[in-house]
Amino acid sequence: MADPRFFLKPHPLTLAQIAGRIGAELRAPEDGEYLVHDVAALDVAGDAQLSFLDNKKYKDQFTQTKAAACIVHPDMVGYAPEGVRLLLSLSPYKAYALAAQAFYPEQRPEPSISKFSTIHPDAKIGQDVSIGDFVTIGANVEIGNGVWIESHVAVGSGVILGDGVRVGNHATLSHCIIGNGTRIYPGVRIGQDGFGFAIDPSGFVKVPQLGRVMIGDHVEIGANTTIDRGASGDTVIGSGSWIDNLVQIGHNVKIGRGCILVAQVGVAGSTELGDFVVLAGQVGVAGHLKIGSMAKVAAQSGVTKDIPAREEWMGYPAMPMKRYLRQSVYLSKVIDKRREGQ
Amino acid sequence: MADPRFFLKPHPLTLAQIAGRIGAELRAPEDGEYLVHDVAALDVAGDAQLSFLDNKKYKDQFTQTKAAACIVHPDMVGYAPEGVRLLLSLSPYKAYALAAQAFYPEQRPEPSISKFSTIHPDAKIGQDVSIGDFVTIGANVEIGNGVWIESHVAVGSGVILGDGVRVGNHATLSHCIIGNGTRIYPGVRIGQDGFGFAIDPSGFVKVPQLGRVMIGDHVEIGANTTIDRGASGDTVIGSGSWIDNLVQIGHNVKIGRGCILVAQVGVAGSTELGDFVVLAGQVGVAGHLKIGSMAKVAAQSGVTKDIPAREEWMGYPAMPMKRYLRQSVYLSKVIDKRREGQ
Amino acid sequence: MADPRFFLKPHPLTLAQIAGRIGAELRAPEDGEYLVHDVAALDVAGDAQLSFLDNKKYKDQFTQTKAAACIVHPDMVGYAPEGVRLLLSLSPYKAYALAAQAFYPEQRPEPSISKFSTIHPDAKIGQDVSIGDFVTIGANVEIGNGVWIESHVAVGSGVILGDGVRVGNHATLSHCIIGNGTRIYPGVRIGQDGFGFAIDPSGFVKVPQLGRVMIGDHVEIGANTTIDRGASGDTVIGSGSWIDNLVQIGHNVKIGRGCILVAQVGVAGSTELGDFVVLAGQVGVAGHLKIGSMAKVAAQSGVTKDIPAREEWMGYPAMPMKRYLRQSVYLSKVIDKRREGQ
């Protein structure tokens, strides 16, 4: 069970209630009234807990689990140990995520505005808003309904936050418009000047950064990530994209819908990502490139060229995955031969 | 036009005023009285706006632009569409930067000190200083004239900020002396202990970090960048250097004048960079190295050796660019041959 | 001498006092009463200062030093210039670290709790605690004796801080339990949700992150580093481990005792490190791997496989160091040959 220091004790649910919530089918409808109290991993779940099997690597744990109930793919039914109640789903991990949400809904504080915050009188604050201690909110800010702003956040003049947005502690927001349901994690910096200057023998000349950051709906922006505003035109993060911690997004970058950028990725200025692009951890993408929709780039790759849609690339500099693997295999064989020859 | 939520509406300027500000020459002196109201990109500018052509890649946009006026290199005059007023400059991008600064000067708040900040009575505060909400300023701090400290900043005891310095929200400054006109972005950490310890079987023994961070004039330090203070002696950032977001500078690093460190670069302890060195994004430089003036290192390279002045290096580990490219071409050919042979 | 703006002037100590503190032996016992006032590097130390020689690279500086006294390995006694008093140690760098600690003990503020902080009435605060301005402390937090919390820190509900913990400015702590003597640097983010979601055609489904972050004793966590809490089970950092700046630790990562993670390292979810593992700067480690105790990974390597205990690996993707070097040498020779052949 999740530590009650940090999580509310979940309310028990019947398997029928859960099946309804997660879109799964009870293998034995008579199990519908059985009450479970929590979710847990296969190897630790007991007779009050619901577990799941998604990755077949854990099949052995499944065959020995003592869980009261388990979410599984219909193909795995044959491996189920006796006594475990089954909820059948074609997407067991997603079904588990929904079940865990049912037991552990996001804990939001009661709406209230800390008296230790400074809110400009021209700011418009929606209904049911929660604002923590030591928050500053500038002129003409617009905050939607149900927004939760944690402590020590700075919201600069003119910023718009859509309904249900959550902003983590110590985040800095300026020159940005943020869609509904988007979540900003602690320490994120959005809207500062991009890295723009003209070179001159007497020193660099700053190029005014005159754009904004436009963030869609239901986006996640991880801790300590930085997103610079556009130089002319906007930096854009499409709806439903997930960005992990310590990611750098340069000015005028456009990111499509449903993209995944894993931790420590860097995307240089004016590069455009289509929809559902995946950049694995520590990938770097040079500026002014186009990465097609559904393209995937392996961790630590350095992208210096456009990538067509749906391709998988890897390497430094990045190349199509097959070509990269061919090169790796070649080098590996040469080395093995030379070692034998010694 | 820049979004008026975030930017003040610019005042119109005559082309003669602009030419004077940016050091350009009006091709037709009779255009000098023409008023323009803003800057804009070639493809969106209209009859009230000034644009520019720098990168020849955009020549086609230039030949079709509807801009009232355009800053161009004298060589490009022949491609100008009829009716566009021309400002001739040998450095069109720099001239554009200056023009954009004329329309959009940095917006500084009126000088004032928030009553929601805590300022040690021994701190010395200059003239025309602006200090935001929830700022802490320690004992013996010295703050020059015209300094702007945004909200939630922590300035530790003894820190000195030169005239005109701007410190972004949530920055942490300790053990540092910062020159005139330098700008620190949100979330920067300057002056904390470097990563120094002696190894001992019973655990690591911390080595006290007894130096400072000395930052020159007109330096830019990007969001969430970290600069550790010296272990003995100082960490130094030379005047006019630009450091992007999420960069790590280890203890006792010395960076010369006019260097450019792009996002997510890491420079390990005691390494020295000459003047005008360029480290592209995600480069890592090992400790105790010397990188000569005007050297350039390509993105994601891993530098493990000294680099002579003016050389371009690339790779993991980094090597002179020509050598690196020869290696890449070789591998590429071998792979192509093997594919044909299959 | 360390700048008195930032450091207290040290009290002089006799060489006998120092020898006792650092576990060294005075070569000439009659030097025991000699007073030194400070530590300094070999090339700048004078007749009031103690220096040390550890790296033989600096032997020439040693032979010419004007230091009053010097900590050296017994093997180096023959190179000592006349007049320099010697303290013999088998670990001169560690001995120097202890001597520097004797002159420059950590400066902690007097215990006091800022009236500009908000502390939940249910929080338990130990003895001799110092809490800076604009700190927020949530419900049921437990803070041990001698804890120092710098300004602008957010401590979420239920967090436990052991005795002597120091938390740097602007850190965010939630869902975590932190051991004795551990130090958190400015801007660290601990305990936020990990990057966990199930993929669904209609958008990603968030997987509730139900674990904690458990941090041992005497750990150091560098500036702007991010440590996500477990998804189910905990993220764990073992006692005595040192983590540098801008490091990313994913959910459910387990790090053993005495590990060293240099700046900008990223460790993906569920990976486990044994004890005394070293990951050099900018290393990336994929998820669900096991890195054996005392393994070392060279800077910028990308680890995609388990690494056995005590091995040294390098490369992208990482491989055993010997194999990597063989590959490098091979490529280097081929290129040299081809250049000659041109």
Mutation target vs C (from A282, A331, A334, A339; most C CBs, 10 A cutoff): A282
Q: Is the dihedral of CA C281, C286, C287, C288 positive or negative?
A: negative
Q: Does residue B342 register a pLDDT over 70? A: no
- Using DSSP bridges, classify how beta strands C189-190 and C213-215 pair: parallel, antiparallel or unpaired: unpaired
Q: Does residue C341 register a pLDDT over 60? A: no
Query: Is C251 at the interface with chain B, CB within 8 A?
Result: no
Residues of A in contact with B281 (CB under 8 A): 248, 266, 268, 284, 286
From CA B73, how far away is CA B67, in angstroms rounded?
16
Nearest residue on chain C to B134, alpha-carbon basis: C134
pLDDT score at B283 = 98
| CA-based nearest distance C219→chain B, Å | 10
* Token code pair at residue B322: 């020509």
Given a contact cutoff of 8 angstroms between Cβ atoms, the answer to whether A33 and A98 are in contact is: no
Nearest residue on chain C to B250, alpha-carbon basis: C263
* pLDDT tens profile A172-183: 999 999 999 999
* pLDDT tens profile C14-24: 999 999 999 99
Query: Is B246 at the interface with chain C, CB within 8 A?
Result: yes
pLDDT score at C339 = 66
Residues of C (288-327) whose Cβ lies below 8 Å from B: 299-300, 316
- Of the pLDDT bands very low, low, confident and very high (cuts 50, 70, 90), residue C340 is low
* pLDDT tens profile C227-250: 999 998 999 999 999 999 999 999
Asked if B224's CB is within 8 angstroms of A189's CB, the reply is yes
pLDDT score at B339 = 67
Residues B138-158 have a mean pLDDT of: 98
Query: Is B187 at the interface with chain A, CB within 8 A?
Result: yes
Query: Is B58 at the interface with chain A, CB within 8 A?
Result: no
Given a contact cutoff of 8 angstroms between Cβ atoms, the answer to whether A81 and C272 are in contact is: no
Nearest residue on chain A to C140, alpha-carbon basis: A5
Residues of B in contact with A326 (CB under 8 A): 335, 338-339
From CA B264, how far away is CA B243, in angstroms rounded?
10
Q: Does residue A336 register a pLDDT over 90? A: no
pLDDT score at A339 = 66
**Residue C30, Cβ density class (10 Å: 0-12 exposed, 13-18 middle, ≥19 buried):** exposed
Round the average pLDDT of chain B to a whole number and report it: 96
Query: Is C97 at the interface with chain B, CB within 8 A?
Result: yes
Domains of chain A in start order, with CATH, are 13-103 (3.40.1390.10), 212-342 (2.160.10.10)
Given a contact cutoff of 8 angstroms between Cβ atoms, the answer to whether B215 and B255 are in contact is: no
Asked if A158's CB is within 8 angstroms of B187's CB, the reply is no
Residues A208-212 have a mean pLDDT of: 97
pTM summary value: 0.97
* pLDDT tens profile C76-129: 999 999 999 999 999 999 999 999 999 999 989 999 999 999 999 999 999 999
- Of the pLDDT bands very low, low, confident and very high (cuts 50, 70, 90), residue C201 is confident
* pLDDT tens profile A175-206: 999 999 999 999 999 999 999 999 887 789 99
Backbone angles phi, psi at B75, to 5 degrees: -65, -20
Q: Report DSSP letters for A164-227, one per residue.
A: T-EE-TT-EE-SEEE-TT-EE-TT-EES---S-EE--TT--EEPP----EEE-SS-EE-TT-EE
Does A21 or B339 have the greater pLDDT score? A21
Does C55 or B252 have the greater pLDDT score? B252
Q: Does residue C1 register a pLDDT over 90? A: no
| CA-based nearest distance C120→chain B, Å | 19
* pLDDT tens profile A276-312: 999 999 999 999 999 999 999 999 999 999 999 999 9
* pLDDT tens profile A15-71: 999 999 999 999 999 999 999 999 999 999 999 999 999 988 899 999 999 999 999
Given a contact cutoff of 8 angstroms between Cβ atoms, the answer to whether C173 and C155 are in contact is: yes
Q: List residues of B with catalytic annotation.
A: 251
Query: Is A207 at the interface with chain B, CB within 8 A?
Result: yes
- Of the pLDDT bands very low, low, confident and very high (cuts 50, 70, 90), residue B335 is confident
pLDDT score at B341 = 55
pLDDT score at C57 = 85
pLDDT score at A152 = 98
Q: Does residue B20 register a pLDDT over 80? A: yes
Q: Does residue B340 register a pLDDT over 80? A: no
* pLDDT tens profile B45-73: 999 999 999 988 899 999 999 999 999 99
* pLDDT tens profile A84-142: 999 999 999 999 999 999 999 998 999 999 999 999 999 999 999 999 999 999 999 99
Query: Is A186 at the interface with chain B, CB within 8 A?
Result: no
pLDDT score at A202 = 79
Measured between CB atoms, which of C150, C223, C262 is closest to B226?
C223
Angle at C320 between CA C318 and CA C325, to 5 degrees: 90
Residues B123-145 have a mean pLDDT of: 98
* pLDDT tens profile B273-312: 999 999 999 999 999 999 999 999 999 999 999 999 999 9
Neighbour count for residue C29 (Cβ, 10 Å): 11
Measured between CB atoms, which of A93, A170, A263 is closest to C248?
A263
pLDDT score at A301 = 98
Residues of A in contact with B244 (CB under 8 A): 195, 248
* pLDDT tens profile B165-224: 999 999 999 999 999 999 999 999 999 999 999 988 778 999 999 999 999 999 999 999
From CA A318, how far away is CA B299, in angstroms rounded?
12
Residues of A in contact with C204 (CB under 8 A): 240, 242, 258
Task: Return the amino acid letter for A99.
Answer: A
Q: Which of B295, A305, B319, A92 is nearest to C331 (CA)?
A: B319
pLDDT score at A57 = 85
